[in-house]
Amino acid sequence: MAEEVKKKRPPLDPNSAKARLGKIAAEAYSSAQAAKERGEMVGWCSSNFPVEIPETLGLAVVYPENQAAGIAARGAGERMCNISEADGYSNDICAYARISLAYAKVKSAPEQDMPQPDFLLCCNNICNCMIKWYENLAKELNIPMIMIDIPFNPDYEVSDAEVAYVRDQFRAAIKQLEELTGKKWSEEKYNEVREISGRTSRAWLKATACAHYEPSPFNGFDLLNHMAVMVTARGKLEAAEAMEKLYQEYEENHEKGVSTFRTEEKYRIMFEGIACWPWLRVTSTGLKSRGINMVTTIYADAFGFIYDDFDDMCRAYCKVPNAINLEYARDKRVTLCKNNKVEGLLVHTNRSCKLWSGFMYEMSRQIGEECDIPVASFDGDQADPRNFSEAQYDTRVQGLMEIMEARK
């Protein structure tokens, strides 16, 4: 086991990137609640719906996936899943969906409250479960749902025909939101938001790329906390500034020879899949205690959207991880592994996300062969704690470590 560095952590600097990003993440909920209290319409939005649209229109939106992750991380995932399952929802569907459907019913969760919606913004570039989840919310709450269909892309590149198909839907969604909320679209404001979103994304991707340093200047689990801002607020100026601060801090960590990974970095791995939020401390400690640092994950980099114009934005949203074919998805991960000098791959076989986990056996095999690294997997769930075995996780991580050690 790696020897822990026994250092007392200093109090959190309010000007640090961590403090600023935490504040922005919290304000996503508080500002929406304030808008609701002012009588403004509030939306619930899927994580890969283009954030630039509600941001340009000045609409308050919150993200059920983020809320569900927060509820699960704070220990209430099972309680909320039980509520929706008692209403007849299968425990085989996404745990984020079950938590969200439960919250729409009970309308309160001390672990993470957010205002009830007046409209829904749904995009299926994540999965088809998202459609039925939001359709059920719309029916139960009797509110309108705006749907954008982004087809799975079997080709390596996004065609002009697909861009045109998605563009028409984005423009239609804007018109629907104008009619629904009374807000007006401004191309000038959109260009401002687009530039800020690109600035935020560039800083985020530069920060995550700092993992190429040996040792990495950060603990990879830090990214799982910071990425909430990339989902909810990347079109806001304060998010761009905070991400630039994060990148600056990581570069300074490297120059000083320090890291937020507070033990000796003996091994470097890629973590594949959504975080196991109910067991985040267990999964993190199981790696850290062995000197294993998760230096990269596609889950974090996926929210770095960079584009030049409206059509390019449409193209970018067609390239999110679950909307692309195996070959393109594999190559993106292989690049991350090689750029960050990864020595092993740990795969979360996530019961909740069958689309993501379904092709991971073949993809992980190809990544292992291409990068000449060992691969281990464990069973878990992004939000339902009942689908995880601490003993299995410990055994799989130990086995991965032993193979990486033998290959040094």
- Greater model confidence, 248 or 11: 248
pLDDT bracket for residue 6 (50, 70, 90): very low
Q: Where are the domains of the chain?
A: 17-184
Tokens 């007046």 correspond to 118
| Cα–Cα distance, 357 to 365 (Å, whole number) | 13
Tell me the mean pLDDT in the region 316-335: 91
Which amino acid would we find at residue 331? D
Phi then psi dihedrals of residue 128, to 5 deg: -80, -20
Strand ranges (E), 74-157: 119-123, 145-148
Average pLDDT score over the chain: 93
| Cα–Cα distance, 353 to 349 (Å, whole number) | 8
Tokens 């986990």 correspond to 357
Q: What is the pLDDT of residue 346?
A: 97
Q: What global pTM score does this model have?
A: 0.92
What are the pLDDT digits (tens) for 214-240?
Answer: 999 999 999 988 988 998 899 999 999
| Cα–Cα distance, 78 to 96 (Å, whole number) | 11
| Cα–Cα distance, 408 to 161 (Å, whole number) | 49
Q: What is the pLDDT of residue 4?
A: 47
For 289-373, where are the alpha helices, taking DSSP H only?
Answer: 298-301, 310-317, 326-339, 354-358, 360-371
What are the pLDDT digits (tens) for 109-146?
Answer: 999 999 999 999 999 988 888 999 999 999 999 999 99
Residue among 200, 374, 380 nearest 274 (CA) = 380
* pLDDT at position 333 over 90: yes
Tell me the mean pLDDT in the region 64-76: 96
Which amino acid would we find at residue 2? A
pLDDT bracket for residue 8 (50, 70, 90): low
Tell me the mean pLDDT in the region 39-63: 95
Least confident of 41-50, 148-157, 300-309: 300-309
Q: What is the pLDDT of residue 127?
A: 85
Counting residues of the chain whose pLDDT is more than 90, the rounded percentage is 82
Indicate the CATH number for domain 17-184.
3.40.50.11890
Q: What is the pLDDT of residue 302?
A: 81
- Answer yes or no: are the C-beta atoms of 249 and 20 closer than 8 Å: no
What are the pLDDT digits (tens) for 168-205?
Answer: 999 999 999 999 999 999 999 999 999 999 999 999 99
